Structure 1
Amino acid sequence: MTIKTRCLILLCTLAPTLLVAQFRKYSNEFLNIGAGARGLAMGSAQVASVSDGTAGYWNPAALVHVKDQAQVNIMHAEYFAGIGKYDFANVAIPLSDGKRTIGLSVLRFAVDDIPNTVFLVEPDGSINFDNITTFSSADYAFLFSYAQQLKMNSEDKKLNLGFNAKVIHRKAGDFATAWGFGFDAGVQYINKRLQLALMARDVTTTFNAWSYSINDKMREVFYVTQNDIPVKSTELTAPKLVAGGAYNFRLGKSVNLLAEANLDFTFDGRRNTVISSSVVSIDPKIGLEASVKNVFFVRAGINNFQKALEDEDSTYTKKVWIYQPSLGAGFRLQNVMVDYAFTNLANQSNPLYTHVFSLKLDLVRKNKKK
């Protein structure tokens, strides 16, 4: 194996990190996966109807629905039979006035035990498997949320505001490290069974600062193969706007049907979405949730609409619309809620359906004895 081949192996190993400084259009993509099996089962159409601790991710304004007692949410999902792992944890704490709530959310997306074969081949051309080491590539996000309910003239109408301050940490072994920060802001309006919301992600753009640690042997490989040696760099994530509306249809005394539609507006160039232009691209999402006595839930959703070449077209010119469906269910037992989703956490070009489970726990306060 030549030294050039060894370098190509290194580049493939570090690709997610080394390319991020060039392809900033899709930076911090792990923050677009979602949070909670309920939201993922509804096609990620959540900004208007979310009402639990996962609002710290979807729309911090909706955190005000967590009242009277603190709430804990956790979620776990895996890629490629456990090679990649995605986790979400959140705690929401209502303040004493009942109109304000604070929250902390933690997200982690990681691929562990990645083989590092840079030094697999010795200088004399022999292969030494003892030189293979492993490393992990992990992305972390910490979201500090605040939500407040504003006074309205009518009890049926509510206006909630909220924002996130987020800290991002990304790491690929000992090769690359990044720290970043940014802000989100959201608003939620409720009028009886109608809910409207607007969520601005990375409203001030999210800033990531990358630093690299490449030893002399690796630098030599890059130099001999005429590859650029990574240097300190910065990365900006463009703002995204999410607008949503939801309506709760009452089908009987104990059955409700909630329907929500979201529109994701991106401003970083043309994307493969339903509406696409150099100024703005719009990606719709639709979700449904049927509930019985607010105890049993069945959910479905559709998102990620894209144009793709038709498989049976030999001329490779005919395009058709494809989409990503999702399904899920849940049940409530007193102060415990368990949700399940079967959804694609990747993209249309690389579909990857997986099982997602999440747990919600309301921390009921004990009554003080007189």
Structure 2
Amino acid sequence: MRHSFTFFLILVSVTLSAQTTRKYSNEFLNIGVDAAAFGMGNAVTALSNDVNSGYWNPAGLVNINDWEVSGMHASYFANIANYDYLAVAKPLDNESAIGFSVIRFGVDDILNTTQLIDDQGNINYDRISLFSTADYAFTFSYARQLKIPGFSYGVNAKVIRRIIGDFANSWGFGLDAGIQLERNNWKFGFMARDITTTFNAWSIDEEEYATVQNAVEGQNQELPENTEITLPKLQLGIAKSMTIRYDFDVKAELDLNMRFAETNDIISTSAFSISPAFGFEVGYINLVYLRGGVNNFQNIETLEGAPNDPDFEGEFQGDERIGFQPSFGVGFKYRGIQVDYAFTDIGDQSAALYSNVFSLKVSLDSFR
């Protein structure tokens, strides 16, 4: 019962925008999975080669040798929101593999105070109720090795479920496709997300939604459109792997993430925007790992010169800077069990909200 209904109003205004095609939609699917990937700044489009490839690039699933299971938990916004992930994958034969994953991003125990005051103006705390808002994604993945050595492709089918208490809910569907190519310790990856423009069909309880309108006086909150469209996104990655003195394995990757919309990304036009990401990993005897990365480069405009005098009638001075999201992580692997940790800023390097991300991966081939 620690969350206020104010936070819910923010979620309603962001999630149920009265637009059919939006720059930012289903954004919980862009957060990422796996602490190892977070530690590398999410720059793993070319390197991903395990059960988590179902998210990063399904083409990488062809590299697994047996059943693999992965799970992750992270808390966001000072533990207000919880982000959880579970995935499983297995090879079908020497050339193909399948996978399945579930993602949940949710805020629970939100206080609904719309009924706090009755029609006579009396306050009754017994009229306060609790609800949750949660986003779910269920992904089915298939990957296959092509006849060309080191060349594979993969596809995802996504079912999306979004719930905002009793106020609104939606079902959505989308497709992803990816390829990977490996040549002489160089790896290349290409991932196309929402290639068919993922949609969400919303169902809104007008009676419940009316309580939100009545709770915020002086604002006309119209019902949103019933269909929400997510535009495609492209990711291109190039990576290099090498071994130093037999004991140290070094991997580094550079990614370019593209949206077909004008955003605050460091490279932005009216037609598209691009943000780079870079990550590296140093492993010692395939036992311990150290990772670092940076991504989410954004053009940020700040307002400076805000006076303390409330009667000030001057103009604020704008200032632009480049924000980015740094991260680092560590990992430990023993007999098919891998535990990873990442420490990352969820926004940019100037924000105070850092997140601790933990994940666990188990490969059953080491136990057979």
TM-score normalised to structure 2 length: 0.89
Structure 1 residue 83 corresponds to structure 2 residue 80: yes
CA distance in 1, matches of 2:297, 2:219: 40
Residues 336/8 of structure 1: CA separation in 2 closer, same or farther (3 Å cut): closer
Any conservation in 2 of the 1:222–1:229 contact (CA below 8 Å)? no
Task: Name the SS of the counterpart of 2:101 in structure 1.
Answer: strand
Any conservation in 1 of the 2:336–2:366 contact (CA below 8 Å)? no
Structure 1 residue 171 corresponds to structure 2 residue 163: yes
1:39 to 37, 40, 48: 37
1:158 to 150, 153, 158: 150
Identity of matched residues, %: 45
Matches within 5 A, 1:180-259: 180-215=172-207, 218=211, 221=214, 227-230=220-223, 233-259=226-252
CA distance in 2, matches of 1:12, 1:312: 25
Task: Name the SS of the counterpart of 1:26 in structure 2.
Answer: coil
CA distance in 1, matches of 2:7, 2:211: 12
Residues 335/17 of structure 1: CA separation in 2 closer, same or farther (3 Å cut): same
Any conservation in 1 of the 2:325–2:347 contact (CA below 8 Å)? no
1:49-85 CA distances to partner (integer Å, 9 max, x unpaired)?
A: 0111110000000011112x10000000012343210
Give the C-alpha shift of residue 310 in structure 1. 6.4
CA distance in 2, matches of 1:131, 1:12: 21
Structure 1 residue 306 corresponds to structure 2 residue 304: no
Supply the AA of the counterpart residue of 2:268. Answer: S
Supply the AA of the counterpart residue of 2:329. Answer: G
Matches within 5 A, 1:270-349: 270-309=262-301, 316-346=317-347
Structure 1 residue 124 corresponds to structure 2 residue 125: no
Any conservation in 1 of the 2:78–2:353 contact (CA below 8 Å)? no
CA distance in 2, matches of 1:187, 1:351: 37
Task: Return 5+ residue gaps in structure 1 as ranges.
Answer: 1-6
Any conservation in 1 of the 2:191–2:234 contact (CA below 8 Å)? yes
Any conservation in 2 of the 1:87–1:107 contact (CA below 8 Å)? yes
CA distance in 2, matches of 1:20, 1:107: 26
Residues 313/273 of structure 1: CA separation in 2 closer, same or farther (3 Å cut): farther
Aligned Cα RMSD in Å? Answer: 2.6
CA distance in 2, matches of 1:347, 1:235: 28
Task: Name the SS of the counterpart of 1:215 in structure 2.
Answer: helix
Give the C-alpha shift of residue 220 in structure 1. 8.0
Give the C-alpha shift of residue 131 in structure 1. 0.8
Give the C-alpha shift of residue 24 in structure 1. 2.2
CA distance in 2, matches of 1:119, 1:45: 47
Residues 331/200 of structure 1: CA separation in 2 closer, same or farther (3 Å cut): same
Any conservation in 2 of the 1:9–1:118 contact (CA below 8 Å)? no
Q: What is the match of residue 355 of structure 2?
A: 354
Structure 1 residue 260 corresponds to structure 2 residue 253: yes
CA distance in 2, matches of 1:248, 1:43: 17
CA distance in 2, matches of 1:225, 1:309: 30
Supply the AA of the counterpart residue of 1:236. Answer: I
Give the C-alpha shift of residue 318 in structure 1. 3.4
Supply the AA of the counterpart residue of 1:47. Answer: T
Any conservation in 2 of the 1:17–1:176 contact (CA below 8 Å)? no
1:309-358 CA distances to partner (integer Å, 9 max, x unpaired)?
A: 46877763332222111000001010100000001234578652111000
CA distance in 1, matches of 2:253, 2:360: 22
Q: What is the match of residue 15 of structure 1?
A: 13
Any conservation in 1 of the 2:335–2:366 contact (CA below 8 Å)? no
Task: Name the SS of the counterpart of 2:54 in structure 1.
Answer: helix
Deviates more, 1:318-327 or 1:252-261: 318-327
Task: Return 5+ residue gaps in structure 2 as ranges.
Answer: 307-315
Residues 330/9 of structure 1: CA separation in 2 closer, same or farther (3 Å cut): closer
Deviates more, 1:329-338 or 1:318-327: 318-327
Supply the AA of the counterpart residue of 1:262. Answer: D
Any conservation in 2 of the 1:212–1:232 contact (CA below 8 Å)? no
Supply the AA of the counterpart residue of 1:91. Answer: V
CA distance in 2, matches of 1:14, 1:278: 27
Supply the AA of the counterpart residue of 1:118. Answer: T
Supply the AA of the counterpart residue of 1:19. Answer: S
CA distance in 2, matches of 1:165, 1:24: 21
Residues 14/48 of structure 1: CA separation in 2 closer, same or farther (3 Å cut): same
Deviates more, 1:212-221 or 1:328-337: 212-221
CA distance in 2, matches of 1:124, 1:107: 44
Residues 130/158 of structure 1: CA separation in 2 closer, same or farther (3 Å cut): same
Any conservation in 2 of the 1:10–1:118 contact (CA below 8 Å)? no
Q: What is the match of residue 3 of structure 1?
A: none
